[in-house]
Amino acid sequence: MLSFRILDLVIALLYLSGAVSFLLGIIYSRNKIQNISACLTIAGFGLHTVDLALKYSLGLGEVLTQSQFYISLLAWTFLLIFILLWWRLKLKFLSLIAAPLALVIFTCSLAISPATLPIPGLLQGLWFGLHIGSLFVSIALLAMAFGAGLAYLHLDNKIKTKSRMGNVTRDLPSLNTFDRVNHWAVMVGFPLFTLGTLSGFIWAAFTWKTIFSWDPKEVFTIAIWFFFAWLFHKRATGGWKGRKPAKLAILIFILSLISFVGINFFTETHHSLRPDGT
């Protein structure tokens, strides 16, 4: 529908404006520009929420079987987690990760065809509530840990080498703050990732009559789970702080992106999201 296309375009423009203006505010140390960026991003998030709600209500739940809807929902989830962390931990710098990612993923959702996913009617609640909901929130938390990890390594390197601090570096929070983000994201994200993965295998058992079929997506997800489990164990026992968990969180998020983009769009898999729907 034309009205939805116009709404989608407005949302994308708000996300783009928010991402660019926040970066400029950081570079030139202008709090006013950063506040304008926050308003633009939140306005985009609000319209995005309305967009998803309308598509769901007008589609009478049929959108729950369309890949396009889920890609858009993932972008929305990134910003939801960012806003919660901003409210809880007062970490504006995460916008450098959240806003651009939301923009890219939301734009991708507009470019793919609304392919129908093979979801049995009785399992739509399980698929949406457990599999998609848990995985999307955990990936969004990983994105925040990724941003915090990059900032931690950058600031730590500046301190150790006694390099000159630029405008961006001077405005960054402390190393301890970045480590708290990593810890919080891992402790909440891993149980959700585990729940989403298990519910996915249950869904596969009903849909393809097998729990595990050596599908590339399944194999890659298991590998990511082991890395995530290792990071969770080290953080839970207090054995790791600082650079090591920062580096591993960065790796896990990159693997998640490879899984989501590389496997879903470029390989033969049950989870294919390619425009041709194959």
pLDDT per residue rounded down to tens, the chain (278 residues): 567 778 888 998 988 888 888 778 777 767 788 788 888 888 989 999 998 888 878 765 566 666 677 788 888 888 888 888 777 776 766 766 777 888 888 887 776 655 555 555 545 555 666 777 888 889 888 988 898 888 888 888 878 877 766 655 666 677 888 888 889 899 999 999 998 888 877 777 776 677 767 777 788 889 999 999 999 999 988 778 888 999 999 999 999 888 877 666 666 665 555 555 44
Q: What is the pLDDT of residue 228?
A: 94
Q: What is the pLDDT of residue 217?
A: 79
List the domain boundaries for the chain: 1-115, 118-278
Q: What is the pLDDT of residue 277?
A: 46
- The C-alpha atoms of residue 72 and residue 76 are separated, in whole angstroms, by 6
pTM assigned to the model: 0.77
Q: What is the pLDDT of residue 47?
A: 92
Q: What is the pLDDT of residue 190?
A: 94
Q: Please report, in angstroms and rounded to a whole number, the separation of the first and last CA atoms in the chain.
A: 24
What is the radius of gyration, based on Cα positions, of the chain?
19
Q: What is the pLDDT of residue 63?
A: 63
Q: Give the bridge partners for 116, in sequence order.
A: 66
Residue 143's nearest CA partner among 84, 196, 195, 197 is 84
Q: What is the pLDDT of residue 232?
A: 94
